[in-house]
Structure formats: structure tokens, C-alpha cells
Amino acid sequence: MLMHSPDRQLIPINWQSADLPTMPTIARRLIEMLCEVEKETEELCELISQDPALTAKLLQIANSALYSLSSEVTSIKHAVVLLGQDEVIQLAVSTLLAKRFLTVPKELKAHAERLWKHCLATAYIAKDFGSDIEEPDLYTLGILHDIGWLIMMSQAPSLFLTMIQERPKSLKSLEEDWGIDHQYWGAKLLEKWDLPEPFQVTALRHHHPEIELSPPKYLLILTLSNFLANHMKNNLWSFEEDEIPQNVLSGLDLDQDAFNEMIEWANSKKDNVELQYQLTRA
């Protein structure tokens, strides 16, 4: 994907820095598997078993109240049988990326945790739209859509801590005042990670899908999911809520009544998101 620099001047980012977030090798292969029609369970189990800590964490999650299964899950293969391949892969990706989001200096920990919970909420909501979309995987798009904020935490932590104290009226005014662009930075990082174009598009346009001439359905879904996650108060910033762009609702064939029902549904899932957040961050 060809990335165009923003029109305004941004604070400088060292894209060669060793401090930039990196993509775990296992997570990259797992994301690739999510986009494959045919997945080999044996390969999946073998891949996960390469990381004993990941294996232990997945078994803990599978046996938690998040699923309330009637029998104890004793192996990754057992988890795949009970939960399905995609569910296990999504849990594994979440567990691996939680470490990337939460490996920050102590003074940034609380902010990174809020960001991670927001991304989990967005992914959880987006996943519910997935019945007629085989790829890209909506859950992992949600997990990674706001990763641009990690760029600032890694490259300008002092500036981030100063900025977080402000209470601007909108995200747009905050970014213009401070010379930042979390969407552009997120897309550039995902390009650097060599993830497929939908990940870059989602990072770049999840606040403004109308910039795209014909926004793909996955982008509209992620824009709506991001809005609903913020509406649940699972967000990094406490801005006044913007209205959802009308073209998002029309593009998804949603009227106002359906949208209101979605808000109510999302708010009913707060406990599920909180439980998954607690399990992945531990």
C-alpha cells in the first residue's frame, strides 16, 4: 500500500529505532492462517506449542468463565475441537499482542492498558459482524486498528504524558495542536510489519472512511466498532462523542433503530470485554 504523508508537519519518528513495537513471528503466521480457507489443525497446534507460556495462557483462558465449558480443556488440540480454529487463533494473537501493547515504561502502563482494552472491545464488536466476511479477519483488524498510539508511547513518552493531561474537545484538535497522526503512524507501522493491505487501510482510515472513494465493508465495520467501543467508555481519550458518519450506517444497511440496538448490545457486552482484558493482560 502506498502511504502518503499528511499535509501538516508531524513530530519526527525514528522508523529505524529498536524501540518501535515489533510483530511476534508466531503472531504473524497466526494472522496469515486466519485468512486461509483451509487450516491444518496439526500445524496450528505445533505453532502454538513452540511458546510454552502462550500454551499455558490459552489453556487458562479456555478453562475460564469466558467460555464456561462443561469439561476441562487439557490441550491446544482439545481447545480447537471445543472452540474452533479461528477462536483459538484469535485468542493466541490477542495474548501475544497484549505483551506488545503493555510492554511500556511504568508511567505509561495505565494508558497502555486503556488502549489495549479499547482495542479488545473494538475487536470483540467487529467479530460479531463476521458472518458474511471470510477475510480479512475482523477481530485482528480491531486488535491492531489503533496501534499508532504505541508509536508515540515508544518514541515520545514524555510528550505523550504531557499531552494526555489536556482535555481538548476533539481528537482532531488534539492531533493538530501536537503534530501527531496516530492513523498514519499505525498504517506505516503495519506496512513495516508487512501485514496485508486491509490492516493498513483500517489503521489509516478508521475515523474517516469517507476519504476512501468506495470504502470496503470491513473498514465501515471497524469504524462502527471503534465508535461503539468508545461509546462503552472503553477508550484512551475522553472526548465528546462524535456522531457516527452517516455513510457508515448506510453502507452497512443500518437504520437509526438498528444502530440504537447495536449501542445497547455493545453496552451489554462490557463484562465479557472486561473478562477477556483481565485474562490477556495477566
pLDDT at 247: 86
- Domains in the chain, CATH or no CATH each: 25-281 (1.10.3210.10)
Q: 236, 256, 242, 251: which is closest to 122 by C-alpha?
A: 236
CB 156 within 8 A of CB 241: no
Cell numbers at 71, concatenated? 469439561
Single out the residue of 124, 25, 40, 52 nearest to residue 85, CA to CA.
Answer: 40
The predicted pLDDT at position 245 comes to 81
Distance CA 250, CA 268 (A): 24
Q: What sign results for the dihedral spanned by CA atoms 260, 244, 138, 87?
A: negative
How many beta carbons lie within 10 A of that of residue 137, not counting itself?
Answer: 27
Nearest-angstrom CA–CA distance, 162 and 127: 34
Contacts of 216 (CB under 8 A, 6+ apart): 198, 201
pLDDT string in tens for the chain (282-residue length):
545 667 778 899 989 988 899 999 999 999 999 888 888 999 999 999 999 999 999 999 999 999 999 999 999 999 999 999 999 999 999 999 999 999 998 999 999 999 999 999 999 999 988 666 667 899 999 999 999 999 999 999 999 999 888 776 788 888 888 999 999 999 999 999 999 999 999 999 999 898 887 899 999 999 999 999 988 887 887 765 567 888 899 999 999 999 999 999 999 999 999 999 999 887
What is the pLDDT, as a whole number, of residue 4? 63
* pLDDT score of 237: 77
Query: Can you tell me the distance from the alpha carbon of 245 to that of 223, in angstroms, rounded to the nearest whole number?
Result: 9
- Using an 8 Å Cβ cutoff, are 118 and 236 in contact? yes
Give residue 174's pLDDT. 87
Question: Rounded distance, CA 114 to CA 220, Å?
Answer: 23
